[in-house]
């Protein structure tokens, strides 16, 4: 080891380390700092900051220097030009050095190159978006057959009523009450199809960058139930929505919370679809002070204790191969936590019950 252990340690660190006095003159720089500017450390020591990084560089960090010289511990990130071309993303930490009189006599600057770290974070974020979309498509795929039936039935009704209107139009003794009745059925049925389509449009969007907005909890429940209803009916599962105050609203990203509700409903469906006895799923909402508790309960026997924590891990699934991505609960918990909420399995319930607790206001 070098005769000066401290200097050896500082020069071995890849981060840029320097000590600057109140006059913004370098008193120490490590090897990494010198290499960044293509200079030996001895060529930097004694020079002013502006002589090394230039006037533009100094102006870009002047506020942080002023804050540090006033006694504040300062951290910030910025993009700086690199002498070999391009730019680097850096994280800087300035630590004030107080003299015997209690006045700041200089500061230590630690500058870390975080370019690769930030790029990795961006890649992780992109992959997370892809996983969310994959999970969303999987959920929609599971409902595809039911949705086709759900839309075809109303279209069949509309077609039949349109034919009836044509017949009435040819009748010399036109009964206006029958025309109105047929028109009202067509209108109501069209609205039902419209709700289903709106639900699909909502789920097909990436809501991660949406603004927080106020939305009716009843609206969230109704739109998601419309998408699930036929699939549940086809498998003899009773989908029940508890009484929800029409004035109960929550601040959230509606697309994301809809995905959470849909994931929980789909999981409940799959859990009870093969049962032979009474099959049901309950969707409820409860206002608890400044929070809202949304729960999805099914008639299943519950989840074994040894699997209760594993079910929230990415790619873990209890479904048979090809029946699930293993991402639904993991992504749902991430979404809920991004809304400052929690998503847990109620281990005190005799049946399977997932509870999502969200603040009313973000």
- Contact (CB, 8 A) for 288 and 356: no
pLDDT tens over the chain, length 362 residues: 456 788 788 888 889 999 999 999 999 999 999 999 999 999 999 999 999 999 989 999 999 999 999 999 999 999 888 877 788 899 999 999 999 999 999 999 999 999 888 888 888 767 766 666 666 666 555 555 555 555 666 676 677 777 777 777 777 666 777 777 777 777 777 776 776 666 666 655 556 677 899 999 999 998 888 777 878 888 889 999 998 988 999 999 888 898 889 889 988 988 888 776 789 999 999 999 999 999 999 998 778 777 877 888 766 666 655 555 566 788 888 889 989 999 999 988 888 999 999 999 98
On whether both 228 and 247 belong to a single domain, the answer is yes
On whether both 200 and 349 belong to a single domain, the answer is yes
On whether both 239 and 299 belong to a single domain, the answer is yes
On whether both 332 and 314 belong to a single domain, the answer is yes
Nearest Cα to Cα of residue 25 among 81, 69, 60, 63: 69
On whether both 201 and 324 belong to a single domain, the answer is yes
Q: Domain of residue 305: give its range.
A: 120-359
- Contact (CB, 8 A) for 356 and 336: yes
On whether both 283 and 183 belong to a single domain, the answer is yes
Nearest Cα to Cα of residue 359 among 286, 263, 290, 269: 290
On whether both 214 and 249 belong to a single domain, the answer is yes
Q: What is the CATH number of the domain that holds 64?
A: 3.30.450.20
Rounding to the nearest 10 degrees, give the CA dihedral for residues 347, 349, 351, 355: -70
- DSSP line for 120-182: HHHHHHHHHHHHHHHHHHHHHHHHHHHHHHHHHHHHHHHHHHHHHHHHHHH-SS--HHHHHHH
- Report the C-alpha gap between 112 and 14 in whole angstroms: 8
On whether both 105 and 133 belong to a single domain, the answer is no
On whether both 191 and 325 belong to a single domain, the answer is yes
Q: Of 71, 88, 113, which marks where a domain is finished?
A: 113
- DSSP line for 289-355: TTEEEEEEEESS----GGGTTGGGSTT---SPTTS--S-HHHHHHHHHHHTT-EEEE-TT-SSEEEE
pLDDT score, position 232: 87
On whether both 109 and 129 belong to a single domain, the answer is no
On whether both 100 and 192 belong to a single domain, the answer is no
Q: What is the CATH number of the domain that holds 293?
A: 3.30.565.10
What residues pair up with 354 in beta bridges, in sequence order? Answer: 296, 345
Place of tokens 């200097």: 7
On whether both 189 and 309 belong to a single domain, the answer is yes
Contacts with 348 (C-beta within 8 Å, 6 or more apart), sequence order: none
Two structure tokens written together for 282: 């309950």
pLDDT score, position 217: 95
What are the pLDDT digits (tens) for 60-113?
A: 999 999 999 999 999 999 988 887 778 889 999 999 999 999 999 999 999 999
Q: Of 92, 113, 134, which marks where a domain is finished?
A: 113
pLDDT score, position 190: 74
Domains in the chain: how many in total? Answer: 2
Q: Of 113, 139, 171, which marks where a domain is finished?
A: 113
């Amino acid at each position: 080891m070098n005769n000066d252990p401290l200097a050896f340690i500082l020069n071995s660190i890849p981060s840029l380390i320097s000590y600057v006095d109140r006059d913004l003159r370098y008193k120490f720089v490590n090897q990494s700092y010198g290499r960044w500017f293509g200079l030996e450390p001895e060529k930097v020591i004694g020079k002013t900051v502006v002589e090394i990084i230039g006037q533009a560089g100094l102006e870009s960090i002047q506020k942080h220097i002023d804050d540090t010289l006033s006694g504040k511990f300062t951290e910030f990130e910025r993009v700086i030009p690199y002498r070999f071309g391009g730019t680097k993303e850096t994280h800087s930490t300035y630590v004030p050095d107080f003299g015997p009189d209690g006045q700041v006599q200089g500061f230590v600057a630690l500058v870390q190159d975080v370019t690769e770290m930030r790029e990795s974070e961006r890649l992780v974020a992109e992959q997370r978006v892809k996983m969310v979309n994959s999970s969303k498509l999987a959920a929609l795929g599971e409902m595809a057959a039911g949705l086709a039936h759900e839309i075809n039935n109303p279209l069949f009704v509309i077609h039949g009523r349109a034919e009836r209107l044509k017949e009435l139009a040819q009748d010399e003794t036109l009964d206006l009450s029958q025309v109105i009745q047929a028109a009202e059925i067509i209108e109501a049925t069209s609205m039902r199809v419209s709700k289903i389509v709106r639900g699909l449009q909502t789920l097909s969007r990436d809501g991660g960058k949406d603004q927080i907005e106020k939305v009716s909890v009843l609206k969230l429940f109704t739109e998601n139930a419309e998408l699930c209803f036929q699939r549940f009916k086809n498998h003899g599962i009773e989908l029940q929505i508890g009484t929800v105050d029409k004035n109960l609203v929550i601040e959230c990203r509606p697309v994301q919370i809809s995905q959470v509700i849909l994931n929980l409903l789909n999981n409940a469906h799959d859990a009870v679809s093969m049962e032979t006895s009474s099959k049901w799923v309950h969707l409820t909402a409860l206002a608890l002070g400044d929070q809202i508790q949304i729960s999805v309960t099914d008639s299943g026997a519950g989840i074994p204790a040894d699997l209760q924590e594993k079910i929230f891990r990415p790619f873990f699934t209890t479904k048979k191969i090809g029946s699930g991505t293993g991402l639904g609960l993991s992504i749902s918990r991430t979404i809920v936590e991004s809304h400052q909420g929690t998503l847990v399995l109620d281990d005190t319930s005799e049946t399977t019950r997932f509870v999502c607790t969200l603040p009313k206001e973000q």
